[in-house]
A and B are shown apart, each in its own frame.
Chain A
């Protein structure tokens, strides 16, 4: 009886653990995001601002996932920053991340007044999403894209940035 129970329990535990991991969406305020993007490291951050309600964003998410996988272990970090309201975290964002099985790190920026923070992220950004930022601080490189990517465009822009 005990023998039978244990593997089942283990499997259940493992399942909860992995499901819990996939579901992780860190909620943060702007200063924390700024601090992360200002680290003087040789990591290239690919920061995509998206939302579960934004159709073109959802369309290009797989391309960022693909880049995340392709550059794994190569000092490239994909951050998917959700613009969803924090009130939608459990209702919309977490289920979405789980359903899509997103592997890239997902953050939710919990700020209400875009006029007070958009310029601090990037003055050239007018506020429409999707918006993507590529940053490498030790190489002092920065590129901004206020538009939707095709997979080929993202690949070539990232290659160009990494050169």
Chain B
């Protein structure tokens, strides 16, 4: 036992070290989502805990500049209209570095939100820490969070639907199908989907 102890201790240390050096893979379905505090276009700070009435959130990583984000903008606004009333408002987060994409600067975000009359928060992820924590890779990239106890868990990750070009030609509404099941208290049968999108404009190291 005496010999075993240092061995076990070193194993434990190795496990701890490797968990730190491993790059963040982002949230998986069922993971608890850590709260965040980001600046909204109205200048106020927004956090998940701030909206006590929310049963959950539709978190959308999106931006001003990506053609796919623009193609989905109206559909994102429609999602908010439909689901905010049922307790799942949209929270839009712009993770792009304005130094790489000047069109995503905070002032430009404010302008976009005002012109399009966003009824939901449009937050700037200035440090890109929230996008990294979620594991977001592209815009648009969606996460449905549902309230569980004092926090929120990830219930759906991925796409809005199966046709970015034309909302009228959509055959499968991935996110809405998942929402129907989630709001009925069931796990989504299709809980992860993929979409083509613009890579997040990460800060140059």
- Report if B194 contacts A (CB, 8 A): yes
CB distance A85 to B137 under 8 Å? no
Q: Among A87, A128, A147, point to the contact of B197 (Cβ < 8 A).
A: A128
A115 to B159 alpha-carbon distance, docked (Å): 8
CB distance A85 to B197 under 8 Å? no
CB distance B137 to A126 under 8 Å? yes
0/1 string, B120-159, CB within 8 A of A gives 1: 0000000000000000011000000000000000000011
Number of A-B residue pairs with CB-CB distance less than 8 Å in the complex they form = 59
A112 to B162 alpha-carbon distance, docked (Å): 7
0/1 string, A110-129, CB within 8 A of B gives 1: 00111110110000011111
- Report if A161 contacts B (CB, 8 A): no
CB distance A115 to B174 under 8 Å? yes
- Report if A106 contacts B (CB, 8 A): no
- Report if A95 contacts B (CB, 8 A): no
Q: How many residues of A contact B (CB 8 A)?
A: 22
Are A115 and B193 also in contact (CB < 8 A) when A126-B138, A127-B137 are?
yes
Q: Among B67, B137, B158, B199, point to the contact of A115 (Cβ < 8 A).
A: B158
- Report if A40 contacts B (CB, 8 A): no
CB distance B194 to A127 under 8 Å? yes
Contact residue range for chain B? 20 to 34
A112 to B194 alpha-carbon distance, docked (Å): 12
A148 to B101 alpha-carbon distance, docked (Å): 15
Q: Among A56, A85, A114, A147, point to the contact of B195 (Cβ < 8 A).
A: A114
- Report if B196 contacts A (CB, 8 A): yes
CB distance B169 to A128 under 8 Å? no
- Report if A144 contacts B (CB, 8 A): no
CB distance A129 to B199 under 8 Å? yes
- Report if A27 contacts B (CB, 8 A): no
**Chain A contacts of B162 at CB under 8 A?**
112-116
Q: Among B165, B200, B201, point to the contact of A112 (Cβ < 8 A).
A: B165
**Chain A contacts of B180 at CB under 8 A?**
none
Are A114 and B199 also in contact (CB < 8 A) when A127-B138, A128-B137 are?
no
CB distance A127 to B196 under 8 Å? yes
3 A-B pairs closest in CB distance = A128-B138, A113-B162, A128-B199
7 contacts between A and B (CB under 8 A): A83-B196, A112-B162, A114-B195, A127-B137, A127-B138, A128-B197, A130-B199
With A129-B199, A146-B137 already in contact, 17 other A-B pairs whose C-beta atoms are closer than 8 Å: A53-B67, A85-B165, A112-B162, A112-B163, A113-B163, A114-B194, A115-B158, A115-B193, A115-B194, A116-B162, A118-B196, A127-B195, A127-B197, A129-B196, A129-B197, A147-B199, A148-B199
